[in-house]
Amino acid sequence: MKKLVFENLNELSNIEGKQLPVGEWYTVTQQMINDFANATLDKQWIHIDTAKAAKYSPTKTTIAHGFMSVSMLSELISKQFEVKSVTMGLNYGLNKVRFPNPVPVNSELRLISSVKLIEDFQNGKKLTFDCTIEIKGQEKPACVAEFIFVLFE
């Protein structure tokens, strides 16, 4: 994947409606799932109890939290493009979030995204992304979301 690099926010206008470079695969480990469980206080057995999950889960293993996928969008998008003049970026919100498929531990995920809309916002730009987090070897994705991010120079 080759990261797109822009000098300033004005250069972003040509990526509206276009797909960003496809993200690289990364592995969701049990340690990541446990850390997320501790941070969010969501310690449901399906996420952290490997023995119980092996016995009772339909996947026969633990699964990542759906919100773990969403929380990674900022970082994953930052690996797809960069604006050199940006001094600050902020999460603005999400629309239409769905988790169509569970993410078993040790799954490989990657982000496919496109820039749906770019709008002026105060002294910056508000970008709306269509995001799909794919699971390697699976037909249905882990997460589909419309993610909104604000960038300031």
> Full-prediction pTM beyond 0.85?
yes
Q: Rounded to an integer, what is the distance from CA 41 to the centroid of its chain? A: 20
Q: Rounded to an integer, what is the distance from CA 120 to the centroid of its chain? A: 23
Rounded average pLDDT per 10-residue block, the chain, 153 residues: 90 92 96 97 96 95 95 93 94 96 97 97 96 98 97 95
Q: What pLDDT is stored for residue 2 in this prediction? A: 87
Q: What pLDDT is stored for residue 126 in this prediction? A: 97
Q: What pLDDT is stored for residue 13 in this prediction? A: 87
Q: What pLDDT is stored for residue 4 in this prediction? A: 93
Neighbours of 138 (CB within 10 A): 16
Q: How many CA atoms, within 13 angstroms, populate the side-chain half-sphere of residue 11?
A: 12
* Beta-bridge partner residues of 126: 119, 150
Structural domains present in the chain: 4-152 (3.10.129.10)
Q: What pLDDT is stored for residue 1 in this prediction? A: 66
